[in-house]
């Protein structure tokens, strides 16, 4: 349906959706990035939905106050990269280049998001390929394709054919967390389940897996604060 800007201080952008399964209006706030979605039944007049939204404004603002906002992709923004912060900085470079605590980018403000995203995905692929190769060699089992996605419900997966999928956002986590997720998915090449036998294989590849899992539970949502659609 589109978007509606709820006036106020600050204004709130709300995505408007219709669903054939919806029998009533629902208002949701993503715990990951603070996105607001109003879902309406297919035949409900849009003005009724907007009136519902206005009635719920106080609740919505209170709820949003407890959710971390999305980080804008502009020069000066500090983003996590392998567990450390780097500042997006314009520089005399042709491609994104990391120099200590800064990520130098060509000085075009309109392409900051696209260039940062491309850099993060390329770095994620490189680190994950190295980690998966190492763990697969220890296990003695080859994997198939390695693909990257922007998944919200899982950090990685292993198909029945041995193909591995990972969230590129793992490149923002400390390197040991990325290494754990790579080990976890490679372990599925031997045990396609989460049985005791699987965790034994996982522990062989990455002994401190409990700490890594705890880090993801406690901090994983922060990795979704970066938005690249603006």
Q: What is the CATH number of domain 78-224?
A: 3.30.2010.10
What pLDDT band is residue 198 in, cutting at 50, 70 and 90?
A: very high
Integer Cα distance of 67 and 222 in angstroms: 10
What's the whole-number average pLDDT of the chain? Answer: 91
Integer Cα distance of 87 and 79 in angstroms: 6
What pLDDT band is residue 156 in, cutting at 50, 70 and 90?
A: very high
Residue 138 has pLDDT above 80, yes or no: yes
Arithmetic mean of pLDDT, 152-167: 95
Structure tokens at 202: 């996982």
- Per-residue pLDDT tens digits for 17-67: 999 888 889 998 776 567 789 999 998 999 999 999 999 898 888 777 666
Residue 68 has pLDDT above 60, yes or no: no
- Per-residue pLDDT tens digits for 71-93: 678 899 889 999 999 999 999 99
Domain chopping of the chain, boundaries: 2-65, 78-224
Contacts of 136 (CB under 8 A, 6+ apart): 142, 143, 186, 189
Residue 82's closest CA among 118, 117, 123, 43? Answer: 123
């Amino acid at each position: 349906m589109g978007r509606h800007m709820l006036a106020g201080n600050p204004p709130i952008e709300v995505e408007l959706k219709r669903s054939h399964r919806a029998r009533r209006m629902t208002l949701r706030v993503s715990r990951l990035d603070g996105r607001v979605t109003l879902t309406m039944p297919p035949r409900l007049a849009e003005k009724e939905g907007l009136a519902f939204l206005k009635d719920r404004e106080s609740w919505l603002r209170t709820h949003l106050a407890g959710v971390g906002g999305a980080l804008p992709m502009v020069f000066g923004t500090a983003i996590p990269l392998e567990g450390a912060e780097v500042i997006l900085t314009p520089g005399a470079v042709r491609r994104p280049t990391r120099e200590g605590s800064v990520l130098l980018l060509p000085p075009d403000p309109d392409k900051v998001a696209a260039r940062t995203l491309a850099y993060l995905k390329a770095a994620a692929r490189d680190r994950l390929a190295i980690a998966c190769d190492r763990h697969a060699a220890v296990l003695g089992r080859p994997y198939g394709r390695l693909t990257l996605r922007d998944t919200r419900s899982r950090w990685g997966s292993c198909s029945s054919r041995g193909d591995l999928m990972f969230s590129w956002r793992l490149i923002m986590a400390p390197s040991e967390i990325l290494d754990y997720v790579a080990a976890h998915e490679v372990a599925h090449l031997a045990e396609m389940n989460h049985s005791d036998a699987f965790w034994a294989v996982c522990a062989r590849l990455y002994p401190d897996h409990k700490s890594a899992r705890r880090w993801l539970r406690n901090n994983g949502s922060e990795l979704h604060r970066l938005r690249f659609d603006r």
